[in-house]
Amino acid sequence: MSSILRRFYCFELVSGLKVNFVKSCIGGTGLGQSLLQSFAAILNCKVMVIPFVYLGLPVGGCHKRGAFWSRVLERVQGKLSRWRGRCL
């Protein structure tokens, strides 16, 4: 696991950005919850809960269900109604 930490530190040196592990989450597919918990403890971060929202879009849920897209549709409809009001 120390090799992963070294990669993060190399990223920080090269990019000039700093990784904030307190705000970060770790997630994985095909891994046991205990393994994810141990990685999170080493990195001092939280374990990600799936499904989650990334850039306003849901990730990891059943995309065939209408409830999956309801939040996205509400946001788009709200933006469209404001846009129409300004253009008329």
Residue ranges covered by each domain of the chain: 1-49, 54-88
At 87 the pLDDT is 67
Residue of higher predicted confidence among 76 and 18? 18
Using CB atoms within 10 A of its CB, is residue 48 exposed (0-12), middle (13-18) or buried (19+)?
middle
- What's residue 88's pLDDT? 59
Q: What is the pTM of this model?
A: 0.58
Q: What is the pLDDT of residues 23-80, one digit of tens each?
A: 988 888 788 889 989 989 988 899 988 888 788 778 877 777 777 788 888 888 888 8
